[in-house]
Amino acid sequence: MVLLERLAALDRLLVSKGWPATSGWWQNTIETFYNSGKPFLVLRVGRRGGKSSTLCRVAVAEALWGEHDIPPGDVGVVPFVSTRLEEAGERLQTIRKILVALGVKFQSSSDALRAQRPDGKDVMWRCFPATVAGVSGFTTICGVGDEVAKWKDRDTGANPATEVLRALRPTLASQPNAKLILSSSPLGLLDAHADAFALGDTAEQMVAMAETWVANPTLSIERTKQLEPDEATWRREYAAIPQAEAESSFLSEVSVDSCTRPAPLHIHRERGVSYYATMDPATRGHAWTFTVGGIRPNMKKSVVFHKEWQGTRDSPLRPRDVLRGIRSICSEYGVDMVWTDQLAVDALRDIADDLDLTLVEAPWTLGRKIEAFESLRADLAANNVELPPDPVMKTDLLQVKKRLTRSGISLEIPEINGRHCDYAPAVAMLLHLPLPLPDLTFQTDLKGEAKEKEERRKALEEEQRKTWANRFPRSRTWSSPR
């Protein structure tokens, strides 16, 4: 097959320029797939198994030399579909380098690369969000679904893959030789990628599975276990075994303990440390939690202070009293702005303004909470954060569960001994907010006229929304139920 010959030649060229060679497993899998004549390939491969590098080479070969009949005036598109557009953008950067190595001229934009085939037809490699609207209205010659098992809506946390793939497949209809490759490390047994893999080889699709060290022999089993010491996570991420259980903890006790300082419980204000604060408000049932974070020059985030106020249905908390207490604590750290979620933010802000305390609304959706806990798990494993030696906070963090459902991951924050694990979301927000560095130093120069503070608050919220929009596109606002 001409395409396979071209792909092999491309691989040799890249190797001569210092790129890693395509592994034997990938060579055999790609060759078997193309010789089968099937349009769909479902790949279950462990993390760091060479998925991105290999599929970018396939994407270039398909676009430049694939047997596609692109009508005059149309553009043959190779879409990379991903929840996180920056990850899809990384694929474009790899393709850009491949085109440079080939000496192929191209035009580039923030989310696409465009070039001409040897036959003069136009082709494009482009990033698309994993949404129904995002994958409609173009002609696909070879599509790549990136980490399909982990696609999710950033507001609900649900995996939209089933509907997205239904919208993506028709874009191949006018191209009889078009291919669609669904690639992912596994998550559970109830998502669209798992469903497709479970079908096995059919007349329309081929499936292939490899552990990380099989797909990428440069990584050994021992090295992958060093990268991921948690056995259950290692089995899923590197051994490519989907998680069968319906529910499991987000965080492990070992990782929490390893990032917990021995003492003190609270750290007083220090010179050269930037401080910021978050709160998770509630008046009855749930506790109203408050945390102060410190960022040292080495960029390690630390929970330096935390406190909760507990109300009941019969005796709810008075927001003014709680905010007065928060204002007093903030003064000790040179902070006069507190990040909060959307719960009653307008009413609370009116009270806080009277106390010379500014509340800044953080875009904090259910999907982002899930993202925050996943990020916290990774930061704990890498020892990138520091927690206080508080057994209550530790219990709250360890009790947060993730439940695998057919629609994706849901977040379960149970009630334990009359508590609702209230420190957990507050800590997750504190350690995950993508705050711009200049916004972290809330010193006395921010104090002043009400107009100046209001302008500062609005500027902070706008910067925060832009940051989240880049990380989590097409987001909406969600109010946390109580």
The amino acid occupying position 469 is: A
The amino acid occupying position 435 is: L
The band of 34, judged by pLDDT with boundaries at 50, 70 and 90, is very high
Stretch 237-247: mean pLDDT: 79
Largest CA distance in the chain: 77
Q: Which two tokens stand for residue 456?
A: 């500062």
Q: Per-residue pLDDT tens for 362-418?
A: 878 777 888 888 889 888 888 899 999 999 999 899 888 877 665 566 778 877 766
The band of 479, judged by pLDDT with boundaries at 50, 70 and 90, is very low
Contacts of 432 (CB under 8 A, 6+ apart): 371, 372, 375, 376
Q: Which two tokens stand for residue 163?
A: 């509907």
Task: Give residue 361's pLDDT.
Answer: 87
Q: Which two tokens stand for residue 15?
A: 């190797």
The amino acid occupying position 273 is: V
Burial class (CB in 10 A: 0-12, 13-18, 19+), 406: middle
268-to-39, 77, 329, 335, 465 alpha-carbon distances in Å: 62, 56, 11, 13, 31
Rounded CA separation 149/143 (Å):
16
Rounded CA separation 158/187 (Å):
13
CA 41 vs. chain centroid, Å, equals: 24
Q: Per-residue pLDDT tens for 405-434?
A: 655 667 788 777 667 889 999 999 999 876
Ramachandran angles phi, psi of 143, nearest 5°: -105, 145
Q: Let me know: does 411 contact 480? Beta carbons within 8 Å.
A: no
Cα torsion 348, 350, 351, 353 to 10°: value is 120
Which domains are present in the chain?
A: 2-244 (3.40.50.300), 254-471 (3.30.420.240)
Q: Which two tokens stand for residue 346?
A: 């307008």
Nearest to 294 by CA among 285, 283, 305, 286: 305
- Decide which of 411 and 102 is more confident: 102
Q: Which two tokens stand for residue 302?
A: 């630390």
Task: Give residue 378's pLDDT.
Answer: 85
Q: Let me know: does 313 contact 458? Beta carbons within 8 Å.
A: no
- Decide which of 88 and 7 is more confident: 7
Residue 184 in 3-state DSSP? Answer: strand
pTM for this model (two decimals): 0.62
Rounded CA separation 67/115 (Å):
16
Length of the chain: 482
Half-sphere exposure of 56 (CA within 13 A, CB side): 22
Half-sphere exposure of 169 (CA within 13 A, CB side): 11
Cα angle 288, 299, 434; round to 5: 55
Rounded CA separation 192/406 (Å):
8
